[in-house]
Every structure is written in structure tokens, then in C-alpha cells.
Structure 1
Amino acid sequence: MLSIFDQGPPPPCPRPFNLAAHVMRHAQTCVEKTALSVLGSTGATDWTYGDLRSAILRTGAGLLQSGLNPGDTVLMRLGNTVDFPIAYLGAIAVGLVPVPTSSQLTDTETGKIIDDLKPAAVLRDPNVTCAPHPRQIMLVELVRMRSLPPATFAMGDPERLAYVVYTSGTSGKPRAVAHAHRAIWARQMMVDGWYGLQSSDRLCHAGAFNWTYTLGTGLMDPWTIGATALIPEPGTDIRELPALLKQHRATIFAAAPGVFRKIMQEKVQLNLPDLRHGLCAGEKLSRHLHERWVHLTGTELYEAYGMSECSTFISSSPSHPARGEALGQPQPGRRVAIVGPGGPVAQGQEGTIAIHRNDPGLMLTYLNAPEEAEARMAGNWFLTGDQGAMSADGQITYLGRDDDMMNAGGYRVSPVEVEAALSAHTGITQVGAAAVDVKQDSSIIVAFYTGPEELDAATLQAYVSDKLARYKQPRAFVHLSALPTGGNGKLLRRALPAYFKATSE
């Protein structure tokens, strides 16, 4: 039998359709229900479904009144506040195309995005850095828009462009991933295939409002089914999260593995009486971390695998727990395969994890590199770049990357991008970057370089600080007499971590 999971397609996306309208579809029947609670140490700030829908549609009206037109792209440089999802959905509601970005990006990085996409405007919090742009709509203006008469949802073809997210490319140049309005419809496959989510749930996500993982799993998915989203206020210490989960009766908790790791550093039982289970994504969950969570909370932890190009599509769930070291299985409605050079391989054999080109959650293309998007297709299969094997029951085991991409706290980072930032330094002749395990379940990005002499680490850190977002910056620098290369002279990045271990012993 071939390694293909296919239990039939999901229901087709309705026509006409609007992503924001779908997210707010319960707002008119749940007007007074709490859609969002921003959790603080002294209490919570609540938004009802009625308040949220009103703010979204009024913001959309204001964006159009500002001179923007449907189809225009708007770059989002907003901070970790509720203003981010309101502006994001407000733009989509009226047919604009928002581009959410991490507030950690530097002027240099945002300048490249502006040159690449040429957005019609930048939605800007003055406290968030951004390269110059002639049309900046400041946060105070966005908030003021909420007093305007509301717009109506712009319904249309679900295949039309809805939003763009950036992801690290293997070439070192971030790719603009273009998603259609139908992407939110596809996320319904996660509700049972990963979350086990119900309208009565109170789902707490530990991430920032302006992280796409939070935006999807922590906000839009709960709202789509009429549940309540809980988000800790900016600056919340991770060690305070268990108390907040208990105080605000969270029933599901979602975070990246690093957050779970820090919570469990305190070697005590976690008393979370309302919690049904946890959700984990962003990087591979270790068996050790999983077992420790179960031991300390008495609840399960369900992992999901995905990517910017298709969100999550393989996961464990309350109805289908993972077996052994497996990630889980493809969500109902997905068509997933393990692909080799000749197509899907036999069950049990290693190959590249791939998803069918007709999956409603798959991106439209890379806006700045459509040829690269097509190059990732093998027939009807979109190749993820991750290796795996599928068992007879559809469970998939993750076997690593087939390239040198790194993971930093849930973000994929290209070593080429890190190397390019350092290579211009006058004291460096050659540089290579790699992720290095420094202790159990914890890794850092390390830069290895050659040059006439060893350079001061603090100087190198300062050098990259305005060139790379904080999560992309190396945490250590290692001077070598020569970098490891293959017979053709090409850098062997996978050999680099051993040099870190040798120098640190």
C-alpha cells in the first residue's frame, strides 16, 4: 500500500465568501458573549462578539475612507495589542490585503518587504520600527475609526487573495506567501482534527497578538465556532501563566514547546481544574516534554505539524491520539502523502511529507517567486521539505528536514539569511549558521566564522541587531580556522554543531 491518506475532501467553501465574515459568523447571535479576554494580573479586559464585530467593520470603513481601495496591500507594523487582529480582520472585511509581520523585524527587513510588495499603506504603531513609507496610518487613527459608521463585508470569490504572510526561504530571501479567503474555511479541519474545540471552550494562547500562530489558533479559530479566546496581556511572565489559566478557567491551553518547557521548570504539580488539554505547535515536541506535561497536569498535550504555506494539517487530537513517537495523522478532509522521487512511497518508507495541491488551505503562490512555488510541486503534491514515514493506520512520524532550515522558538529561520547579515563584516571571511542543541529540548542559533582573528561576541551581536529580527540573531559566535566543506567546496552546515560542542567542552 502507498503512503497516501485520503478519506474524502472537506465540504466545498461557500460562494460568495469573506474570511472576516466567516470568523464573525456567530457575532449576531452571540452579541453579548465574551469573544476575547485580555488577561492581566489584576483582572481581564473583555470584548464581546458584538463589540468585536463592530470594531472590525468600523475599522474597515475607515480604511476605505482613508483612500485605500479593495485589492490594495497594507503592511501591518502593529504591536502586541488587540488593535492588531481588529485591523487585520477590518482590512480583510472590506477587501484589502493585510500583511501581518513580527514586531521584531528591523528597519532593514521591513524595507525589503516594502520594496518587494510595494504596499499602498503601512498600519503603524509608533513604538514598532519600520522603514520609511509615504503613507502611514498611525495607531491613533485606527482607533479613531471605530467611531465611524460600519462597513459591510465584501463578499466574493473564495479563491481571491485575502492576506500575505512572510516565511524564510531556503535561498535566504523571505517569501511572500499568498493566501486566499478560503484558507479560513480549511481551518475547520483543525477543530476536530487537532483542537477538539467546542463553543463552550475558553482557549488561552500564550503568544502575542501579532504572531500568526496566535492569530489563527488563539483568536480566529475560537471565534469561528463561537468560543472564547483568552490572551495574556503584553509583558506577562511565563511563570504567571498557570495562575492565569486557573483564575480564568481556561479549558484549552495553546503554546509553542518553549513555553511549556519554561512553565514546567518549576518542579511542582500544576493545579488546573478546568483544563481539558494542551495544544502544541511551532517546532517538534519532544517525548520528554510531552510526558512531563501529562505528569504535572493530568491532561494530554496534542501536537500539530504545519507550515506558513498551509497552516497545520497533521495532528494528534482527543479523538485520534498520537501513537509512540508519531506526530499524529492527517486531519479529516486532508489528502497527504509521503513522496519519493517516483511519487508516493510504500507505507513505512521514508520520504518527503506532502499535501495535495487541491487542499483548500494551501497557499495560492509565493508572490515574489511563483517559479519557486511551482518547483515545490511533484505532480499534484506540494513538498514540505520535511521527511517522514506513514504507517498503515495513517499516523506520520517526523524524521527531520531535508535542508538546513533552523527553528527559533517556533519561527523557521534560513541559515542563508543569517549568514548574509554577517558576511559583510570586515573581520569575517566566511560564515556558516546552524541550530545547536545546548540542553535537553533547547537549541540556539550559532554563527561559525573564519577571519584573521577572533572577534568580540558583543560586537558581533550589535552588528546584527539592526539587520535581523531578534529571533533570527545568533546567540553565540564561534571562530574557526576553517569551516567544514564537502569535496566540491560547499559548506557542510550539518557538520557545524560538532564544532560548537568541541569548543564548549
Structure 2
Amino acid sequence: MAGQLLSIGLSPGDSVLFRLDSCVEFPIAYLACIYVGLVPVPLSSQLTSREVTVVTDMVGGRLILHSPGVSLPEKIDCPVLSVSDLNMENIPSDLEPRRSTPHAHAYTIFTSGTSCTPRGVRHAHRAVWARQIMFEGWYGLQSSDRLLHAGAFNWTYTLGTGLVDPWTIGATALIPAAGTPAKDLPTLLGTHDVTIFAAAPGVYRQMLADNPTIRADQLRHGLSAGEKMPARTRAAWVRATGTDVHEALGMSECSTFISGAPGVALVDGASGRPQTGRRVAVLEGGKPVGYNTAGELAVHKDDPGLMIGYLNQPEGAHLTGDWFMTGDLVSMSATGDVTYLGRADDMMNAGGVRVSPLEVEAAFADHPSVGDVAATAVTVKADVTVIALFHTGPANDLADRAETHLATYKRPRLYIRKDVLPKGPNGKLNRRALARDYEAEHGQT
């Protein structure tokens, strides 16, 4: 694959945009680019032509790798190579890798970050070395493991946890074919002797809805990342499999750096502890906060897994002093247990007091007929915002539950039923879209 890319005239440093579905060529092309110094730019196959155009304008790629049926940019300024047209004949088999430094640009991924505008995240070659911190700090990964990841290839959670990490240690990577429904995943766990399962919380919920009992004799535990796993989903997994699930807190800019792990006892509600070798802090106004006090999670600039920076931004522009501010609000106990409180931009203001949407949602999580829930602040008239709870189930007694589970200032003032809650391409709940749509519908844009 690397020889094919070079044979069509690409040079080290050129960007290659991936408009690929979850095909075998995706991970091969990703590694092939890095092997010869090209910069792969994996993009979600779900992006529309308009969305892809925005990204390609930012990247200025020299080639687009394309799967039939996946959208292309509205205007195309570079060659498009279909995976069906790849020709591996007459390609030298002894192609040497391009040697570089650990800090050189290796790949670019895109994230919406704390806004709706896509941001290109530039990672260095050292990122793959830094991932070994997670082998014990999160996975409990062994060379004999068979790890199945239920995610799209474009997601760093899949490329890293699902592919690169198992291969690095000599374990087996298993990825379900594109289009595999969540209800079929338990069968794959058993028939393929999966020892570790990894997915986003939404996938866990979907598969458990149809499979209250899961038979997977070799399964040791599950891994969860992408967003906070609801307590009821965790409990359902434990009942169904008899195994635990270990969460991690991370982001595209620094992978996962806070996590639980086999044999690590966490306090209830905690997402995990800083992995050994990480340097993180909880800051407010640039200064450390006290134990069990809300603040913004920060990663030190010398963490080997931290990105080089954002695409098309000056060097160091992503740093505040020596720290990268993640935008995640957390608190940390004296024992190092980190509790996730939500994104800084998701936090709600109730009478001048910040309220975490996760805290409000947790009050309803075990209600038998509430369905999926999302709490967010919505503007109901000029200069007036209230907490709203969106839910998918038929429950009509939620206000009563709020009275017994939440302080007055934390209680939702609106309860709104939706058929589905909006989520991003990787299954993360999009609270901002709920608020935006509600306000547009009620004339508060």
C-alpha cells in the first residue's frame, strides 16, 4: 500500500484524506501512510459533502482515498483513488520506512472540540509510544488477548484501542464488519473467544437492551470511553456478563489518560485515576484547586501523548502556560479518584450556581420508564434560562422524582419527551443540539 501511494507521485509530508468506510484497506492505508512519511487524515464516512468540503479546505490534501458510496467534497482539487482501483503489481516489496523524529507530525484527526467547528488535531509519532501507558493503566492488556472494538475506523478510540494497541503487544484485534447491529455483538463475543470488549456507552446500552444475558466464556472485562457510562448501563453489563467494565476519560487531543483498570478499586461515580506516567492537574484560573473541588482538567505540555497542536494554528497556541486545558470539569479526591462533571460548555447555571448535567441525569437514570435522558440549560425568554430534561421514555412522574432526588436549584423546570436524542458520529450525546433546536422552535435563537 505504501508503495502504491508513492508510485502515484506523493511525497513525505503530503496529507492523504480518507473517505473510506470500515473496510480492510482503512487501517492498512493508515499505517502505510505513516510508514513512508505521508500524513493520513481519517474522516468519518458519515460526513456530508458539505462537511467534507470544510475539512478539505482546511487540510489541502494531495490525495483522497475513496470507498464507493462515501461522500466526496463539493469541489475536488486533488486526485481521488478508489480502493477498488488499487493496483499492487510492480510495487517493490523491500520499501524501507521513512525515519523521522518522535516529535514529527504523523497523522491528523478531526474533532468538534468545544464548538461545532471541526478542528484538526496534529499528532506526533511519539503518540504510539505513549499509548503503552494504557496497557496496564486501563486495559490490563496481554499478548494472549483477543480484543473486539465496536467502533468506526475513523475514531481514534478504534484506531488506538481497537487496532494499534493490540498489535503493539502482539494481541489479536477484532473489528465487526460495517453494518453489524449492536444486538449481534454478544454472539461475536462468544463465537470469537473475545477476552476484552471495547465500545462507547451507547453501544453497551443498545446491545444489553436485546441481550439481558450474554454468554462469553473467555471475556475478562469491558472497556468504555467517549462519554460517561450511566450507572444502570454498568450494572446491566455486570449482570449480563459477570464481568466488570473499566471506564476511561480522554479526548482526541491526548487519547485516554484518566481510567479505571483491573484490580483498581475506585470510589463510586469516579471515572478513574491518572495513569502512571501521566502528568495532569485540576486547575481554576491557572492554579490548582483543593481536593473534591470542581476545576478544569489540564494535561502538561510534556505528556508524550499530547498533540503537537491544532491544524493551521501557531505553535504552542493550544497551551495555557505549561498546560493544555481540556475543557473537562472534574474533581479529584486525595486518593486520586477523578469524578467527571461534564464539559465546561455543557455546564448549566442555576441561580448563579454551576450544575453538572451528569448530576441531574443521574437522578433519573434508574427510573424504569424514563428511557435515555439529557439535561441542558435552555433559554425560555430574554436573559432567562432554565434546566430542561429531555427523555425518550413515557414517564410522566419525573417532577416528583426530582423533588426527592435533587436540591431545588438543580431540578429541571421543563420535561420534554423526544423520540430520540441527538448524538454525534461516535455516539456521544449532543446536549447543545437539544438546546439549540428547542430555542429555535420556541423563537429564542
TM-score, normalization by structure 2: 0.78
Q: 1:337 to 1:86 in 2, by over 3 A?
A: same
The CA deviation string for residues 365-412 of structure 1, in whole angstroms up to 9 with x for no partner, is 1112338x63x53322211111111111111011112114999xxxxx
Q: Could you tell me how far apart the structure 2 residues matched to 1:351 and 1:87 are?
A: 40
Give the C-alpha shift of residue 142 in structure 1: 3.4
1:252-331 to 2 correspondences below 5 Å: 252-266=196-210, 268-331=212-275
| Conserved 8 A contact 2:19-2:45 | yes
State the AA in 1 paired with 2:226: G
Q: Could you tell me how far apart the structure 1 residues matched to 2:4 and 2:141 are?
A: 34
Q: 1:436 to 1:358 in 2, by over 3 A?
A: farther
Aligned to 1:392: 334
1:424-503 to 2 correspondences below 5 Å: 437-439=390-392, 477-478=437-438, 480-483=441-444
Q: 1:96 to 1:435 in 2, by over 3 A?
A: farther
Aligned to 1:205: 149
Unmatched 5+ stretches in structure 2: 348-356, 359-375, 377-384, 394-417, 419-423
- Look up the SS of the partner of 2:329 in the other structure: strand
Which of 149, 160, 182 is matched with 2:93 structurally? 149
- Look up the SS of the partner of 1:144 in the other structure: coil
TM-score, normalization by structure 1: 0.69
Q: 1:117 to 1:127 in 2, by over 3 A?
A: same
Q: Could you tell me how far apart the structure 1 residues matched to 2:90 and 2:17 are?
A: 20
State the AA in 1 paired with 2:156: T
Aligned to 2:412: none
Q: 1:266 to 1:173 in 2, by over 3 A?
A: closer
| Conserved 8 A contact 2:183-2:211 | no
Give the C-alpha shift of residue 342 in structure 1: 4.2
Q: Could you tell me how far apart the structure 2 residues matched to 1:267 and 1:69 are?
A: 50
Which of 35, 39, 55 is matched with 1:93 structurally? 35
Aligned to 1:116: 58
Q: 1:86 to 1:170 in 2, by over 3 A?
A: same
Q: 1:364 to 1:342 in 2, by over 3 A?
A: closer
Q: Could you tell me how far apart the structure 2 residues matched to 1:387 and 1:270 are?
A: 35
Q: 1:277 to 1:99 in 2, by over 3 A?
A: same
Q: Could you tell me how far apart the structure 1 residues matched to 2:29 and 2:110 are?
A: 18
Which of 196, 211, 234 is matched with 2:140 structurally? 196
1:128 matched to 2:81? The reply is no
- Look up the SS of the partner of 1:377 in the other structure: coil
Unmatched 5+ stretches in structure 1: 1-58, 408-414, 416-431, 441-456, 458-467, 484-490, 492-505
Give the stretch that moved more between structures: 127-136 or 65-74. 127-136
Aligned to 2:184: 240
Q: Could you tell me how far apart the structure 2 residues matched to 1:219 and 1:236 are?
A: 18
| Conserved 8 A contact 2:111-2:120 | yes
The CA deviation string for residues 84-133 of structure 1, in whole angstroms up to 9 with x for no partner, is 00000000000000100000111111111121111111111232111123
Q: Could you tell me how far apart the structure 2 residues matched to 1:336 and 1:477 are?
A: 36
Q: Could you tell me how far apart the structure 2 residues matched to 1:212 and 1:470 are?
A: 10
| Conserved 8 A contact 1:61-1:150 | no
Q: Could you tell me how far apart the structure 1 residues matched to 2:191 and 2:206 are?
A: 19
The CA deviation string for residues 308-361 of structure 1, in whole angstroms up to 9 with x for no partner, is 100100000003243211111011100111111141112222110111110000
Q: RCO higher in 1 or 2 (8 Å CA, sep ≥ 6)?
A: 1
Q: Could you tell me how far apart the structure 1 residues matched to 2:94 and 2:135 are?
A: 30
Aligned to 1:501: none
Q: Could you tell me how far apart the structure 2 residues matched to 1:143 and 1:315 are?
A: 43
Q: 1:128 to 1:300 in 2, by over 3 A?
A: same
Q: How large is the RMSD of aligned CA atoms in angstroms?
A: 2.8
Which of 299, 302, 317 is matched with 1:358 structurally? 302
| Conserved 8 A contact 1:85-1:210 | no
Q: Could you tell me how far apart the structure 2 residues matched to 1:128 and 1:321 are?
A: 44
Q: 1:370 to 1:403 in 2, by over 3 A?
A: farther
Percentage of matched positions with identical amino acids: 49
Q: Could you tell me how far apart the structure 2 residues matched to 1:224 and 1:197 are?
A: 10
Give the C-alpha shift of residue 477 in structure 1: 4.9
1:222 matched to 2:160? The reply is no
| Conserved 8 A contact 1:122-1:133 | no
Q: 1:300 to 1:148 in 2, by over 3 A?
A: same
Q: Could you tell me how far apart the structure 2 residues matched to 1:320 and 1:154 are?
A: 40
- Look up the SS of the partner of 1:338 in the other structure: strand
- Look up the SS of the partner of 2:120 in the other structure: strand
Structure 1's consecutive aligned runs of 4 or more residues displaced over 3 angstroms after TM superposition are: 141-148, 169-172, 404-407, 434-437, 468-482
- Aligned residue pairs: how many? 374
